């Protein structure tokens, strides 16, 4: 799994545009939270590059980038959670999950 960093609002705007060509997965991670670390680890261990080749994964350190996390919540109409995954397609959030509901299989089905 090769995460791209989401660390600017310009990248978020680029993600919205890119999502019209391919699905984009956002993982909002709190570096201070053990549940977030566990969810991230579970997702990374389950990820199959060949199966998810069409999905572009982005990682947001929300402690360092709270403003971007807030913009994600506002732009996509989702309640802020941590940890949280969002699947963005055609400029909209088509799937989101948080905490222990973050599941690789659920993401695969949503794609």
pLDDT of residue 27: 97
Q: Structure pTM?
A: 0.94
Q: How buried is residue 96: exposed, middle or buried, by Cβ count under 10 Å (0-12/13-18/19+)?
A: buried
Is residue 45 very low, low, confident or very high in pLDDT (cuts 50, 70, 90)?
A: very high
Q: Which domain holds residue 70?
A: 4-110
Is 67 a residue whose pLDDT tops 90? yes
CATH code, 94: 3.40.30.10
Is 1 a residue whose pLDDT tops 90? no
- Total structural domains within the chain: 1
Give the number of C-alpha atoms closer than 13 A to the C-alpha of residue 70, restricted to the C-beta side. Answer: 5
């Amino acid at each position: 799994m090769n995460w791209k960093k989401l660390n600017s609002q310009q990248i978020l705007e680029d993600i919205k545009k890119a999502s019209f060509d391919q699905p984009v997965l956002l993982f909002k991670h709190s570096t201070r939270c053990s549940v977030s670390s566990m969810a991230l680890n579970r997702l990374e261990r389950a990820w199959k590059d060949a199966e998810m080749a069409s999905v572009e994964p982005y990682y947001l350190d929300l402690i360092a980038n709270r403003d971007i996390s807030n913009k994600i919540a506002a732009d996509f109409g989702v309640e802020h959670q941590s940890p949280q995954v969002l699947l963005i397609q055609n400029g909209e959030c088509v799937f989101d999950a948080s905490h222990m509901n973050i599941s690789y299989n659920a993401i695969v089905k949503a794609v």
